[in-house]
Amino acid sequence: MKKIETNLKDCYILEPDLFGDDRGYFSPYFIQKNLNDLGFRAVVQANRSMSSKGVIRGLHFQKEPKCQAKIVEVICGAAIDVVVDIREDSETYGKWTSVLLTPDNHRQLFVPCGFAHGFISLEDHTVFQYLVDQDYAPELEGGILWNDPALGIDWEGILSEYRIDSPILSEKDLQYLPLSETEVHFRRD
């Protein structure tokens, strides 16, 4: 597996090995030892979501003591994945990155604990897959406002490039506060 650094500390793009010929390919997309080296504990839950074009999900996180690290990928359709480092002691605190995920580019994103995570679906019937290392705990879920101006996420550029007139968000995602008004206390350790 190839590990590509992003502009965020401890957050990596993963490119699983592909072995193929004219029949197709084989890819060991999940090897626990490789993920242990990233600090990913173990897969305890695998989730999938399906979204229409223009759906934004996020920016979500799960609070301690059940903070979740994630490995995310798109298995059908296309999405721009967006993550924000919200670990108070991180040199990249408040910074974000985005990655195009498609079945054709075979990319995954490793999202460490202490990051807010979201994505925008670029096509109808986009299937997004998450491997997580902690159980879902609804009482610990949280989020930050998807378009918090202080973060500077280029949503307008993404919407324009992919010809999305207006994003579709859940009521819950529309109610989150900006990072500066959110009670989160994540640390790199």
**In what order do the strands lie in the sheet containing 96-101?**
96-101, 79-85, 115-121, 56-62, 141-143
What's the angle, vertex CA 10, arms to CA 137 and CA 28, rounded to 5? Answer: 80
12 is catalytic: no
Among residues 12, 29, 60, 117, the one annotated as catalytic is 60
130 is catalytic: yes
Among residues 130, 136, 162, 185, the one annotated as catalytic is 130
HSE-up of residue 138 (Cα within 13 Å, Cβ side): 1
Please, are residues 8 and 114 in contact by the beta-carbon 8 Å criterion?
no
Catalytic positions are 60, 130
